[in-house]
Amino acid sequence: MKMNKKGFMLAEVVIVASVVSTVLIILYISLSKISSAYDTRNKYYDIDAMYAAMAINDVLDNSYNNVNNYQKIENNKFIQFYKNEVNTSIEAYYVKSDKAILETLKNSLDSGTQSFKNYIDYLEDKIEFNEFSYLIIVKLQKNTNDDLYYYTLKVGDGNEA
């Protein structure tokens, strides 16, 4: 009597299934890391915050030229426009390009701004401080939602006094 040898053995099916599931798990982990990095990039490099930082830089007066550490930008024409006309909460800081000063700014923030502190930690790892003189850091809260968006504009070439 001849045996029918067509088809797969149970062991072969189990091995193939485990290999396929392992590949799918690795793919899922990789895609979730990419997605997380993409979300972080979108929050930390927001286009509206970028335009706000550029506009603030365009209308800055000379009172910020002698800032030794950091200073909150409050009486800027553009900030007033943003608060009154665009219905957006905005904060901006003029910070000397120094990691220690950035750390001082982070420590001076109140405990309710953990997201902003996380952004400053992110900046400390990503910025080469000797390439420019000052930073303009912008934090936006668009409309009434709780999402915060950030951007940092690098000012000067690092060779200035």
Task: For residue range 68-101, list pLDDT tens digits in order.
Answer: 788 888 776 777 776 666 667 788 888 888 888 8
Domain positions in the chain are: 1-39, 45-155
> What was the pLDDT predicted at 17?
94
> What was the pLDDT predicted at 71?
82
Which is nearest to 69 in space by CA: 91, 102, 92? 102
> What was the pLDDT predicted at 160?
47
Q: What is the DSSP string of 17-57?
A: HHHHHHHHHHHHHHHHHHHHHHHHHHHHT-HHHHHHHHHHH
Asked if residue 7 has pLDDT above 80, the reply is no
Asked if residue 158 has pLDDT above 60, the reply is no
Asked if residue 19 has pLDDT above 90, the reply is yes
Task: Give the angle subtended at the CA of 148 by the CAs of 143 and 152, to the nearest 5°.
Answer: 120
Task: For residue range 98-135, list pLDDT tens digits in order.
Answer: 888 888 888 888 766 788 888 888 888 888 888 888 88
> What was the pLDDT predicted at 161?
43
Which is nearest to 138 in space by CA: 46, 38, 41, 66? 46
Over range 5-25, report the average pLDDT. 87
Asked if residue 22 has pLDDT above 80, the reply is yes
